[in-house]
Amino acid sequence: MQKLATNYIKYGLAGILAVVMGMTACTRETVAPVRYDTDTSAQLIGSPSLKERKVLLIGIDGAVARLVDTYKPPVIAGLLPKSVYTFSGMNDTINTAGSTWSSLMTGFPVQSHKVVDSTLIPRSVEGSHDPIKYYNSFLYYIKEDDNRAKITSISQWADLNYFTMNVADKIVNVDPAKGDKGVADEAIKELSAADPNIVIVNFNGPAVTGKKTGFMDNAEYRQSIMDVDARIGEVIKALQARKDSAKEEWLVVIQNTTGGYLNMMGGASHYERDNMTIYYSPVITPGRVDGPGYHASAIRYTGGAGNYIRAENNDGGIYNLGDKEMTIEAKVRFNKGPRGNYTYSYPPFLSKIDSLDGTIAGWGFYRDGTSIAFAYQDGKNANEVRPGVGISDGNWHTITATLKHTYDATNGHTYTASAYIDGTAKGTTTIKKGEAKIESQAPLIIGYRPVIYNDNNEIDMYLIDLHIYNTVLSDAAILANAKIYGVDPASPYAANVIGNWSGNEESGNVLYDKSSSRQNFTVVGKYRWDAMNVLMGTTPGPNNLDVAASILDWIGITLPATTKPPGVSWIKVIGAK
């Protein structure tokens, strides 16, 4: 009775809820009438006759989004050219199957619906006599819009069918012994012999395998993803073979409900929170949408001559300017220094130079009070450039420097350097009539370096997402990169990356170079990985809260602001305004 009393989706069990809540002296919530408009104008695609909009929603428990992206399973990969999709959205910090299915169906986050585990019971119900805030699933609104709409839910998880999908006209509880094959068989039967408007299919093979062998790149887990992919292919084949397919327009939604980490699911790690959403239809505008970068942990670079922690890269000269051009960019966060504030006395923190005395060639970033400076020397001449603002807030910032060699008869060998904070506050300086090249045999170092200006030059900071390019990026590209995490593969400068270190390894003493240079850093000293758990970048990307909004948009249902879930629709029909 408690489970019935705590069902948070108001439909089908509303009468039972009223009785039970009366028995427990609770006050039933007064639900305001729902008002919404239907909009079918966007369905006029290439023909004056309307096709009936339908939805196949496939939820996959335990699919780690980034691994699916890496594996490129053939069925899913074949859908992407006609899909809006992401493998890098970010879901809630509570990421159990119960919580994510609740978010998926209602469009509201855990903080609202308060379902945190597989009991499917809102946490506020337990021991409370306060009124409960319930949230309708998108199925409720579809039935309200058209009570003739037929909804089918197919899962091995009976409670999911009974409680979260209780609006469905037909539920199919698959024997767990039959696994995902049994689920696929029932879905094929439903699509072949019946006339549903909404079909919800729940696969859990990756979750079962991941709990046994780990949610990581191993043979068993990879095979579980490939197996689900094959099942999806069978279901879509049945959908496309429907006898009335010419009169229907199906939106296929493929959504991971959870990821996993080690042998666990439900936590806040990025492996568990990474979101995969695929909206497939030949009539929608396709494209990949990347979400924010998630940085789990980072090395803390600290210390001075006797206790430093730093990262060393014996690059063999790859990161010399020579007589060409380059761009260096990174995300940094400075902690309070020896004085107990953000003022520093000239410590280097990213450098390929052994001294800033003007007689040794190389380049490097260092702290100067609350500012940063980028120094460059050709062996006889020296200069430096500072952005127009300092860094003294303990927050993450993007630093960028460009350095370029040119030659003309009047000025001789000229070096031009610019420095930026967060893609703006540009400063520029030059060396004219300099030496022919800037080359250094010194290693590239993150963190402490012995003599730069003085030996008392301790640093305390984090540095991640470091990229080096063999060209000068435009101001527009520098600003764009300051707002994202990682290297944009669609950038016109992606091919110019000669060093790419995320610094997100989470363990060990190697920072791996993801560029073709393969120039890894080695961390030395008594290092540790500090938890960061920060989102980098401003693009949210699709996540599981958007599924309800996108499906309602596809069907043509517009909800008022008082009822509308916070998610956004990623559906844009080709040709629709």
More confident residue, 558 or 90: 558
Instruction: Please report which helix (H) or strand (E) contains residue 526, including its range.
Output: none
- Whole-angstrom CA distances from 289 to 22, 209, 488 are 47, 28, 11
Mean pLDDT along residues 91-99? 83
Enter the DSSP assignment of 436: S
Quote the CA–CA distance of 97 and 258 in Å, as a whole number. Answer: 6
What does residue 286 show for φ and ψ, rounded to 5 degrees? -85, 170
Mean pLDDT along residues 539-560? 91
Q: Judge if pTM exceeds 0.95.
A: no
Rg (CA), the chain: 28
In the prediction, which pLDDT does 451 show?
65
Mean pLDDT along residues 359-372? 92
pLDDT at 543 over 80: yes
Quote the CA–CA distance of 232 and 218 in Å, as a whole number. Answer: 21
Beta 521-524 vs 510-511: how paired, if at all? antiparallel
More confident residue, 122 or 11: 122
Instruction: Please check whether residue 291 is in contact with residue 90, taking contact to mean a CB–CB distance below 8 angstroms.
Output: yes
If one looks up domain 295-536 in CATH, what number appears? 2.60.120.200
Tokens of 123: 């946490």
In the prediction, which pLDDT does 386 show?
95
Over residues 401-412, the pLDDT tens digits come to 999 999 999 999
Tokens of 508: 């060990």
pLDDT band at 113 (very low <50, low <70, confident <90, very high): confident
User: Dmax of the chain from CA atoms?
Assistant: 94
Over residues 130-153, the pLDDT tens digits come to 677 888 999 999 999 999 999 999
**What does the CA dihedral 450, 453, 458, 462 come to, rounded to 10 degrees?**
-90
Smallest CA-to-CA distance from 300 within 332, 341, 328 is with 332
Residues 6 or more apart whose Cβ sits within 8 Å of residue 562: 32
In the prediction, which pLDDT does 455 show?
57
More confident residue, 370 or 464: 464
- Whole-angstrom CA distances from 319 to 428, 431, 442, 504 are 21, 19, 10, 22
pLDDT at 20 over 50: no
Average pLDDT across the chain, whole number = 88
Quote the CA–CA distance of 44 and 55 in Å, as a whole number. Answer: 18
CATH fit for domain 2-291+540-558, picks 3.40.720.10, 3.40.250.10, 3.30.460.10, 3.40.50.300? 3.40.720.10
Mean pLDDT along residues 413-435? 97
Instruction: Please check whether residue 71 is in contact with residue 218, taking contact to mean a CB–CB distance below 8 angstroms.
Output: no
Quote the CA–CA distance of 6 and 121 in Å, as a whole number. Answer: 5
pLDDT at 193 over 60: yes
Residue ranges per structural domain of the chain = 2-291+540-558, 295-536
pLDDT at 394 over 60: yes
pLDDT band at 483 (very low <50, low <70, confident <90, very high): confident
More confident residue, 376 or 48: 376
Instruction: Please check whether residue 83 is in contact with residue 278, taking contact to mean a CB–CB distance below 8 angstroms.
Output: yes
pLDDT band at 32 (very low <50, low <70, confident <90, very high): very low
Mean pLDDT along residues 242-246? 92
Amino acid making up residue 160: L
Quote the CA–CA distance of 192 and 169 in Å, as a whole number. Answer: 17
Smallest CA-to-CA distance from 186 within 157, 156, 225 is with 156
Mean pLDDT along residues 82-88? 95
Tokens of 456: 């008392």
Quote the CA–CA distance of 504 and 417 in Å, as a whole number. Answer: 29
* Topology agreement, domain 2-291+540-558 and domain 295-536: no
